[in-house]
Amino acid sequence: MPKLPTRFQRFRTGSPLSFRLLAWILLFSSAFTLIASAIQIYSDYRKDLSQIDSRMQVVESGYASSLARSLWALDQKLLQTQMEGILSLPDIVHLRLGIEPDSELVMGEIPRGADTRSHKFDLIHQGDEKLKLGELTVTANLDRVYEDLKLKVGIIMATQFLKTFFVSILIIWIFQHFVTRHLTTMANYAKDFSLANLSTPLTLDRPDTPSHRNDEIGRVTEAFNQMRERLSNDMIRQERDAAEIHKFSKAIEQSPSSVVICDRQWRVEFANHKFTQLTGYDGKAIVGRNPGALSDNDLENRENRHLWQSIRLQVQRVGVWQGEVNSSRRNGERFWEQLIVTPIKDGAGNATGYLILGEDISIRKRYEQQLLRQANYDILTGLPNRMLALDRLKLALAQARRESSMVGVMFLDLDNFKHINDTLGHDAGDNLLIEAARRISSCLRGTSTVARLGGDEFLVILPGLTGPESSSQVAERILNTFGPAYSLNGQEVFISTSIGIAIYPTDSDNSGTLLQHADAAMYQAKHQGKSSYAHFTREMSEVSHERLQMESRMRRALELQELELYFQPIVDTATGNLQAAEALLRWNNPVMGMVLPDRFIPLAEETGLIIPIGEWVIEQACRAATDWKETTGLDIGISVNVSPRQFRDPGFTNAVMQALSNNNLAPERLELEITERLLLDNSSETAEILKAMDRAGIRLSVDDFGTGYSALSYLKSYPFDTLKIDKTFIQDVTKAPEDGALVRAIISMAHSLGLTIIAEGVETEQQTHFLKQEGCDFAQGYFYSHPLPEKEFTEWLKSNNRIPT
C-alpha cells in the first residue's frame, strides 16, 4: 500500500482541481472555525473573570462589617477564622490585611509568575463616627481560568478539525464522482480527438437522463458532440469541394480548348496543356507574363499590343470579348484561333482575374477559304464557275453600258467529249478538260474571263469589243488552239470545240438572254459540222426553243403512249431462215410526226429520260417475243439496243431480269446490243454487269462495230456472243475492195474469237452473196425487211418467215 505522502502527491497531480478545492475548503473552514472558536473562548474567559469579580464583591459585602468588628474588638482569633473562610473561596489565594496605623496581616501565598487579579476594600467601624480600621486586599489566582481555556481550545480544535476533514472528504468524493472524472473523460476524448475518429461521439459514464443532459457537464458534452458533428460535416463538405476542385482542374487541364487564367493585372497565372500544344509555350514558363507579349520577338509583341489593348478595354466595358485571331506559335508559325475572353468574378461581382479560352480553327478557316473558292471556282480547272461567270458578265455589261462598248459572250462545248469520257474513262476526260481550259485561256486577253459552266461547257466573256468581227477572231484563235492532238493515257486524241457567240447589245442587253443566245448559236455551230463557230441569229432562238420543246414533249411521251417498237428481222445468211428480230424505237408525236431514234435518243440520254424509256423498251420487246411464240409458234430471239447511260444505271440489271420473268422469256432469247463506246472505258463496273448478264444466260452483242475504236482486245475480255458489223462497211462491200477486205478480216477475226457475225444494212442481193461467201452468219437490212410495227411484223412472221435466198 502506498504511503500517505505518495497518495497525496498522486491525488494532487491526478486531480488538481479536487486538490485545489480541498485546499480552499480547508483554508476557509479552518479560518472560519478559528474565528468562531476564538470568539467563544474569549466569551468564556470573560465569563470566568466576571465570576471572580463577583466573588470579590461577595467577599467585600459579606466580610467587610464582620472583619471590621473583629478588628474593633481586636479578636485576633476570629479575625483569623474569618480570613481563612475567605481564603477557602475558589481561586482566592492571597489576603493582605492592613491594620491602622501600620501593622499588617498576610495570609496565603501568590505562586510565582502567576497571573492574578486583586480587589481592595476598607474596613470601617460603624459607630457614631466612622473610623477606618484597616483595609483588606484580596488576590485571586487566574491560572485555573487559563487551564480551563486551554482545555476548551484543545477540544474545539480537535472536533472542528475532524468535522472539516470528513466534510472535505465527502465533498471531494462528490466532486470527483460528479464532476472531475467526467472532466477527465472529456480531456482524454479531446486529447485523442482526430479526423480519424470523427465518428465516435463523446459519452460519459453516467445515465443519460434529462437532468443530466441539462446540467453543465451535459451541456459541455453536447457542445463537444455538436462540434464533432459540425467538424465532420465540414470535413465531408471539404472533401467534396476538394473532389470538385480536382475534377474541375482536371477538366481544365485536359480541356480540348486552350485555357489561360490571368490575374487582375492580366498576368498569366495558369495555362493548360492544350495551350502548350497549340502555341508551343510552356505553361509554367509564361506565368507572370502578359498574354499579348509571350513572344521573345519584340516586333510580334508590338503587333499584339494593339489587339490586346482593345480586348482588355472591351472585356472591362462589355464583360466579354470574342473573335478570331491570327496568332503565332512559339516557332513563329501562324495559326487561326477563336478566342473568348471573360472576367472571373467573385461573389460581389468584382473581377479577380480573366479567363482566355482558345480554339484552333485553322482547319475550319482553311475549309472556309476552300468553300469560298468552291463557291466561285471550278475545282478541276481552277476557272471561275457559273456563278462567278454570271457575276462577271453582269459587271461587264454594266461597264459596257456606261462606256457604250460591246461585250462578246461565247459559249463553248467540246465536240464528242462524252465519247472520250465514255471510252477513255473519266480521268482522261478530266485531264482533257484541264488542258482544254488552259488552251482556251491562252487565247484571251487579261480583261477577258473564261469560265467552266459544267461538264464540257465553257463560257468566255469578252468585254470592250469594238465589233462582232473581233469576237470571230478570238473564236478562230480558240479553234486553232484545239488543232494539236491531246495526249491522254498515252494515246493521241484529237478534239475540237463548237463555239456560239452572242453580242451585247446587238443580240440582247440581258445577261441571261445573252447566254441562251450564245448556247443556241453553239448548237448551230455543232450542226454545221463541229469545230466551228456561229454568231447568233434570230432563227436560232427558234431552234433552241424547238430543242426545249422536244425535251418537254419527250417527258410526256411515255405516259401519252407515243412510243412504239418496230421490229426488223435478222436472218441466217446461208439459209435465209429467220433467226431473231431487233427492236427499234419510234416516237409518234402528234406534232412532230414520226421521230427516228437518231434524233431523240441523244436528247433522251442527255436528260436521263433514256432510263424509263429503255426499261419500257426491254419490257415491250420481251413481251412481243413471248407473244410471237404464242401466236406463231416461232421461237425467235429478240435484240434490244442499250445505251451506255442506261447500262450504267444501278437499276438496269434488275429491270432486265424483271422483264424476263414478267414475260416468262428464256434469257438466251434476249440479246442486248451495246455500242463499242461503252466498253472502252474499261471499268470494272461495266465488266461486272456484262458478266452478270452472261451468267444469267443473256446474249450480248457489240453493235455498230467499226465506227468506234474497234479495239479488238476488249472482245476477248468480255463475254460477247455476237458482233454486228456497221452498215457503213456493208454499204460499199461490193464496190470498194478495201471495205470488202475489211469485212472479210472482221469476219475471220470474230470467228477465231468464237463470235457470231451479223451484217447490218444489207440492201442488195450482191451484198448477201458476198456475205454468204465470206461465211457471215447472219444479216439484217432492207433487203430482207424494213423495220415494221409489231402488228405488221407479226403478220409478216405468219406468212413469210423464211426469206428466199
H or E element at residue 321: strand 321-328
Decide: is 727 part of the binding site for ligand C2E (CB under 6 A): yes
- Using CB under 5 A, pick the residue from 760, 774, 777, 790 that binds Mg ion: 760
In the chain, what is the straight-line distance between the N-terminal and C-terminal CA atoms, in Å? 155
Question: For ligand C2E, which is the closer residue by CB, 78 or 803?
Answer: 803
Residues in 67-96 at the binding interface with ligand C2E, rule: CB under 6 A: none
Question: Would you say 186 and 202 are in contact if contact means Cβ atoms under 8 Å apart?
Answer: yes
- Which of ligand C2E, Mg ion, none binds 585 (CB below 5-8 Å, type-dependent)? ligand C2E
Q: Is there a cis peptide before residue 719, judged by omega within 30 degrees of 0? A: no
DSSP string for residues in 601-646: HHHHHHHTTHHHHHHHHHHHHHHHHHHHHHHH----EEEEEE-HHH
Determine the Cα angle at 538 with ends 532 and 543, to 5°.
Answer: 70
Q: How many residues bind ligand C2E (CB under 6 A)?
A: 22
CA–CA distance, 235 with 199 (Å, rounded to integer):
12
Question: For ligand C2E, which is the closer residue by CB, 499 or 762?
Answer: 762
Decide: is 780 part of the binding site for Mg ion (CB under 5 A): no
Decide: is 787 part of the binding site for ligand C2E (CB under 6 A): yes
Q: Give min distance, CB of 534 to ligand C2E, in A.
A: 27
Residues in 683-722 at the binding interface with Mg ion, rule: CB under 5 A: 703-704
Decide: is 671 part of the binding site for Mg ion (CB under 5 A): no
CA–CA distance, 744 with 750 (Å, rounded to integer):
10
**Span of 9-17, 230-238, 242-250, 640-648 interacting with ligand C2E by CB under 6 A:** 640-648
- Using CB under 6 A, pick the residue from 18, 139, 516, 641 that binds ligand C2E: 641
Q: Give min distance, CB of 391 to ligand C2E, in A.
A: 40
DSSP H helices in 453-510 = 468-481
Question: For Mg ion, which is the closer residue by CB, 615 or 760?
Answer: 760
Question: For ligand C2E, which is the closer residue by CB, 551 or 763?
Answer: 763
- Which of ligand C2E, Mg ion, none binds 787 (CB below 5-8 Å, type-dependent)? ligand C2E
Q: Comparing C-alpha atoms, which of 497, 500, 493 is closest to residue 480?
A: 497
Q: Give min distance, CB of 419 to Mg ion, in A.
A: 16
Q: Give min distance, CB of 595 to ligand C2E, in A.
A: 10
CA–CA distance, 328 with 300 (Å, rounded to integer):
9
Decide: is 615 part of the binding site for ligand C2E (CB under 6 A): no
Residue 466 backbone class (left: φ over 0; alpha: ψ -120 to 50; beta: rest):
alpha
Q: How many residues bind Mg ion (CB under 5 A)?
A: 5
Decide: is 637 part of the binding site for ligand C2E (CB under 6 A): no
- Which of Mg ion, ligand C2E, none binds 601 (CB below 5-8 Å, type-dependent)? ligand C2E
Q: Give min distance, CB of 570 to ligand C2E, in A.
A: 10
Determine the Cα angle at 260 with ends 255 and 265, to 5°.
Answer: 160
Q: Give min distance, CB of 723 to ligand C2E, in A.
A: 13
- Using CB under 6 A, pick the residue from 202, 383, 601, 625 that binds ligand C2E: 601
- Using CB under 6 A, pick the residue from 422, 673, 676, 777 that binds ligand C2E: 673
What does each C-alpha distance from 308 to 300, 327, 527, 544, 709 come to in angstroms?
A: 12, 12, 67, 62, 69
Question: For ligand C2E, which is the closer residue by CB, 460 or 601?
Answer: 601
Question: For Mg ion, which is the closer residue by CB, 673 or 774?
Answer: 673
Q: Give min distance, CB of 677 to ligand C2E, in A.
A: 11
Residues in 729-768 at the binding interface with ligand C2E, rule: CB under 6 A: 760-763
- Using CB under 5 A, pick the residue from 378, 673, 676, 774 that binds Mg ion: 673
Identify any residues that bridge with 526 across adjacent strands, giving them in sequence order. Answer: none
CA–CA distance, 770 with 574 (Å, rounded to integer):
11
Q: How many CA atoms lie within 13 A of 678 on its CB side?
A: 26
CA–CA distance, 647 with 674 (Å, rounded to integer):
9
What does each C-alpha distance from 669 to 574, 584, 687 come to in angstroms?
A: 21, 17, 21
Question: For Mg ion, which is the closer residue by CB, 676 or 703?
Answer: 703
Instruction: Report the 10 Å Cβ neighbour count for 359.
Output: 17
- Which of ligand C2E, Mg ion, none binds 615 (CB below 5-8 Å, type-dependent)? none
What counts of helices (H) and strands (E) characterise the chain?
A: 27, 26
- Using CB under 6 A, pick the residue from 400, 585, 622, 690 that binds ligand C2E: 585
Q: Is 448 helix (H, G, I), strand (E, B) or coil?
A: coil
Report the sign of the C-alpha dihedral through residues 224, 225, 230, 235, in that order: positive
551 burial via Cβ count (<10 Å: 0-12, 13-18, 19+): middle
Residues in 72-131 at the binding interface with Mg ion, rule: CB under 5 A: none
Question: For ligand C2E, which is the closer residue by CB, 30 or 707?
Answer: 707
Q: Is 66 helix (H, G, I), strand (E, B) or coil?
A: helix
Decide: is 514 part of the binding site for ligand C2E (CB under 6 A): no
Q: Comparing C-alpha atoms, which of 356, 380, 365 is closest to residue 428?
A: 380
715 burial via Cβ count (<10 Å: 0-12, 13-18, 19+): buried
Q: Give min distance, CB of 675 to Mg ion, in A.
A: 8
Residues in 551-580 at the binding interface with ligand C2E, rule: CB under 6 A: 568
Decide: is 597 part of the binding site for ligand C2E (CB under 6 A): yes
- Using CB under 6 A, pick the residue from 782, 795, 798, 802 that binds ligand C2E: 782
Decide: is 413 part of the binding site for Mg ion (CB under 5 A): no
Q: Give min distance, CB of 584 to ligand C2E, in A.
A: 4
Instruction: Report the 10 Å Cβ neighbour count for 97.
Output: 23
Question: For ligand C2E, which is the closer residue by CB, 123 or 611?
Answer: 611
Q: Give min distance, CB of 385 to ligand C2E, in A.
A: 32
Residues in 621-650 at the binding interface with Mg ion, rule: CB under 5 A: 641
Question: For ligand C2E, which is the closer residue by CB, 488 or 617?
Answer: 617
Q: Is 113 helix (H, G, I), strand (E, B) or coil?
A: coil
- Using CB under 6 A, pick the residue from 422, 676, 681, 704 that binds ligand C2E: 704
CA–CA distance, 87 with 395 (Å, rounded to integer):
167
Residues that bind ligand C2E (CB under 6 A): 568, 584-585, 596-598, 601, 617, 641-643, 673, 703-704, 727, 760-763, 781-782, 787
Residues that bind Mg ion (CB under 5 A): 641, 673, 703-704, 760
